Amino acid sequence: MPAFVRRVLSAATILALALLLGACTITSDKPLLDDSEGAAPLPDAFTFFPYEDSPDGYVRSTDAPASFAHQGNAYVATNIPDAKGPLSVAFVPVDQSVFVVAAKTSEDPGIVYGFGRYDDGVLSIAFSPDKATVAAIDHERKSAMPMGKHALRGVTISPSTEAITLKNREALDYLAKMYADGRLPMDTLTVAYIAEDASVAPPSRLVPAGTGWIKVP
């Protein structure tokens, strides 16, 4: 996997360029969400500290933090290395705890999607489908009601990478509902600590605890 895409996925800077480099993501060639749908679950301005998976939870990544500000119905960062213009990230509610996360850059028409939760300063996003994701979708294609089967016609899966391309909003909504219901497994979460005050050191480690997180100083 190219280093840039690896940084996108592990650091969760959510750059929408991954689709051009063949990374295993969920993408669409054009926006499927309306700009007016974006919610504001995060602070109006914050520093995004990326973490990476480890045997003892999630530890601080060596990747640099990024600064975001709420603009309109999205959060925008302008200091992301290698990005083609500002990075815009929108959060559209699925239910009370899950959001569809949609990321794009100003110079790229494609969108990268994930399914996120934000709890007590910790943002976790499932960006990367894997073999279990593909198996769950295949099972759903066979067992779903006719409306579900119709929605899944808008889902195309790469046989070599498990990357998913969405053709329409119906397909995105169906996958989002599957994820919120616990029926769509995804690969390792990308995790970040959201700090309103960048001068305060973020936790050294974040440990999942049920639906929340333990922050280790």
Does 21 score more than 50 pLDDT?
no
Q: Cα(5)–Cα(45) distance, rounded to whole angstroms?
A: 25
- pLDDT value, residue 80: 67
Does 137 score more than 50 pLDDT?
yes
Domain boundaries, the chain: 3-130+188-196
Burial 134-160 (b: 16+ CB within 10 A, else e): bebbeebeeebeeeeeebbebbebeee
Does 13 score more than 50 pLDDT?
no
**Number of Cβ within a 10 Å radius of residue 87:** 25
Give the residue from 84, 78, 49 showing the smallest Cα distance to 64: 49
Greater confidence, 171 or 9? Answer: 171
CATH number of 3-130+188-196: 2.40.128
Contact 99, 116 (CB under 8 A): yes
- Percentage above 70 pLDDT, the chain: 86
Note the helical H segments in the chain.
Answer: 3-11, 131-143, 146-152, 169-180
The predicted-structure confidence for 116-127, as pLDDT tens digits, reads as follows: 999 999 999 998
Place 83 in a pLDDT band, splitting at 50, 70 and 90.
Answer: low
Mean pLDDT over 92-118 rounds to: 89
Does 166 score more than 70 pLDDT?
yes
Show the tokens assigned to 140: 């759903």
Point out the least confidently predicted range of 8-17, 77-86, 205-214.
Answer: 8-17
Place 10 in a pLDDT band, splitting at 50, 70 and 90.
Answer: very low
181 residue type, one letter: D
Point out the least confidently predicted range of 30-44, 77-91, 199-213.
Answer: 77-91
Mean pLDDT over 35-55 rounds to: 93
Q: Cα(212)–Cα(45) distance, rounded to whole angstroms?
A: 22
Q: Cα(58)–Cα(81) distance, rounded to whole angstroms?
A: 23
- pLDDT value, residue 63: 81
Q: Cα(24)–Cα(113) distance, rounded to whole angstroms?
A: 11
